Structure 1
Amino acid sequence: MALDLPAISLSKTKGFRLINSKLPTIDIFNDVADPDEFQDLYDLQAMTNPRLNQEVGNLNYIDLGEIPWGIPGCHYAAASFTHVAPGGSRFSNGEFGVLYIADTMETALAEVEYHQGKYLANVEDLKFDRLIFRGLACTFSGDVMHDATELAAEHEIYHPDDYTAARALGARLRVAGSEGVHYWSVRNSGAICWGLFTPRNIQSIVQTGHYEFIVRGGDIMDRRKVVGV
């Protein structure tokens, strides 16, 4: 894909994302200050914890030097790059991780509601379920981001379900050294999102609350912020 998107720098920015609360925190990323300490601790814990590799994910997907060791929520920053969805995402075919961040929690909720709804539609005989997600506030910056909001919302990279063009763009930008893409949200019209190809410019990711999705008959019928979870 021969798209010449403008490169932009991003000053300190705040955004939001949601992760399923059933996913455990990966404490080992928070317990060290640099890649060497991580490797030593990982090797030590691996002797007694047979599930460590599953918890940490595939470290081959990321250069450990890109992980922002010592920040609040380092495990949240690293997880998207070690637990890569095999089926891919909008800007990745599954060969590398992307950390997706929305401009507001409302946009993050809209994105998650769409993707969860699509998944639930394929679950047979699902009469009722209650899904709990952690809300996360992310602070980050960027030296070389690329601005896809220069493209109209009707452009092929914004197709609702066919990610072919977007994935080609993501792969090309990442190989060229881009730190991420700034783009229109497809699920919340007029809102924006970021897809980060590296976690190195993340300054913090902290939990803000919990959100509940109520599922009936395979459809999400309601969502709300949960108090006291």
Structure 2
Amino acid sequence: MVTVHSLPVLPAASIRAYRLVNSKFPPIAIFDDVASVDEFEQLYALQALTNPRLANQAGRLELIPSADIPFGIPGCSYAAAPFTHVNPDGSRFSDGAFGVLYLADSMDAAIAEVRYHQQAYWTNVPALRYERFVFRGLTARFDEEGALDALTVQRTDPIYSPTEYNASRLLGRSALSSGVNAIRYHSVRQAGGICWGLLTPRQVSSVVQTAHYEMIWNGDVIGVHKLSTRVG
């Protein structure tokens, strides 16, 4: 059984990684409008008086310490959103009680991961025939220091099961409780790909939108196309 104490801890290293997010979820402006925790708390209190939708936009702030949000970085909202808008169905390393920021070492790996999960979701939507879904491509930079290295674990281990997440969720919960920053692991959907599950956004230094992609659904994901590249 893989445990927190059985995995090597990675040294400091600046990592460039990639992420794909559905374009129906816009950036959370209030995270990007401030440069510190104090500024955020003041602005949030002020806007809450006049914006009844603010709580929905910002998400469940109680799920993440304010000190962990990297205010002032480019794309702070992209770094913080997975921790305040948590998928209640969970993910590979979370049972749905806490958020994880998932990143990949290439956009191809990020697309493969998202494609699998989107297809599983769309398959269960009644009467969904032909549809186009648009995603934002993101490039992130973060410090890998303190991450657990699950690349040392055989791909046959239960934490890499393509469909059952019990073992990986136990590892994720234990890592979070132990104050671990992240887990580096093999991509399950892209051969040779590497992914990270960040358990806090505090070591993220930037998240920048780079391009838009669309997935075409016609009873299956029949294509993924790059639509545009953001300039500037």
Which residue of the partner structure matches residue 138 of structure 2?
136
CA contact (8 A) 2:15 2:144 kept: no
Which residue of the partner structure matches residue 190 of structure 1?
192
State the alpha-carbon separation in 2 of the partners of residues 97 and 44 from structure 1.
26
The residue type paired with residue 222 of structure 2 is: M
The residue type paired with residue 183 of structure 1 is: Y
State the alpha-carbon separation in 1 of the partners of residues 93 and 190 from structure 2.
18
Deviation of residue 46 (structure 1)? 0.8
Paired-residue identity, %? 50
State the alpha-carbon separation in 1 of the partners of residues 39 and 228 from structure 2.
37
The residue type paired with residue 41 of structure 1 is: L
Q: Does residue 1:69 correspond to 2:71, yes or no?
A: yes
Structure 1 gap segments, 5+ residues each: none
CA contact (8 A) 2:210 2:229 kept: no
Which residue of the partner structure matches residue 29 of structure 2?
27
Flag the 1:41–1:109 CA change in 2: closer, same or farther, 3 A: same
Which residue of the partner structure matches residue 213 of structure 1?
215
Q: Report runs of 4+ in structure 1 exceeding 3 Å deviation.
A: none
Q: TM-score, normalised by structure 2?
A: 0.96
Q: TM-score, normalised by structure 1?
A: 0.97
Among 80, 83, 86, which residue is 1:81 paired with? Answer: 83
The residue type paired with residue 32 of structure 1 is: V
Among 170, 174, 186, which residue is 2:176 paired with? Answer: 174
State the alpha-carbon separation in 1 of the partners of residues 213 and 43 from structure 2.
34
Deviation of residue 142 (structure 1)? 2.8
1:10-159 to 2 correspondences below 5 Å = 10-159=12-161
Deviation of residue 2 (structure 1)? 5.4
Instruction: Provide the secondary structure at the position in 1 that maps to 2:79.
Output: helix
State the alpha-carbon separation in 2 of the partners of residues 172 and 10 from structure 1.
22
Deviation of residue 173 (structure 1)? 1.0
The residue type paired with residue 50 of structure 2 is: T
State the alpha-carbon separation in 1 of the partners of residues 229 and 143 from structure 2.
32
Flag the 1:139–1:228 CA change in 2: closer, same or farther, 3 A: closer
Structure 2 gap segments, 5+ residues each: none
How many residues get paired? Answer: 228
State the alpha-carbon separation in 2 of the partners of residues 50 and 63 from structure 1.
23
